[in-house]
Amino acid sequence: MRVYVPATLAMLQQLVGERSLHARNGTAFAVTPTLREAYAEGDDDELADVALRDAALASLRLLAGEGISDLPPRRAVVVAEVEGVTARPDLDDPVVRLSEPIAYDEVIAAYVDNADAEPAVVPAIEAVDAADLGDEDAEFIVGDAQDHDLAWYAPQELPFLLELL
């Protein structure tokens, strides 16, 4: 199954260095049957975009939990084809649990914010918890960050991307 794993730049460094990635709490996002049922219309590409956007939002939560870092504050999502995925019906429609770490050779791509997204991402990191609790102002701040498209990188480009940071 194709999964979208929320990540940070530090997690991408781990992926490149250790050739594996441990998804936080084994959580990832995917086009699940429940997600398909939730949308009356939408093809696979549109539903995959929903899973990607949810993973990017979860990346903001990871950044909030990381605290101060030497790395730029950028959202990241790792896309991989993996086995051993189970649905999480107790959470949102696209949420799945991974049974094991993702191997580097299972990675299809990574999506990462460009530098121009940082001015929107920084306040969103601070606002994501309040947005989750329904604060409308915080939701707008997080929405500004989510409006930035993530750039696509092939797995072999990740070492160069991280080197250039």
Q: Is the pTM of this model over 0.85?
A: yes
Residue 22: closest CA among 67, 62, 75 = 62
Mean pLDDT of 5-22: 96
Q: Which pLDDT score is estimated for 74?
A: 96
What's the pLDDT tens digit per position in 61-105?
999 988 777 899 999 999 999 998 988 877 778 899 999 999 999
Percent pLDDT > 90 in the chain is 77
Contact in structure between 26 and 88 (CB atoms under 8 Å)? no
Give the distance from CA 116 to its chain's centroid: 18
Q: Which pLDDT score is estimated for 27?
A: 94
Alpha-helical regions (H) of 7-135: 9-18, 33-38, 44-66, 118-132
Helix, coil or strand: residue 121: helix
**Range 125-160 burial, b when 16+ CB lie within 10 A, else e:** bebbeebeeeeeebbebbebbbebebeebebeebee
To 10 degrees, what angle do helices 136-146 and 44-66 make? 110
* DSSP 8-state symbol, 119: H
What's the pLDDT tens digit per position in 129-147?
999 999 999 999 999 999 9
- Start-to-end CA span in the chain (Å): 31
Counts for the chain of helices (H) and strands (E), in that order: 6, 9
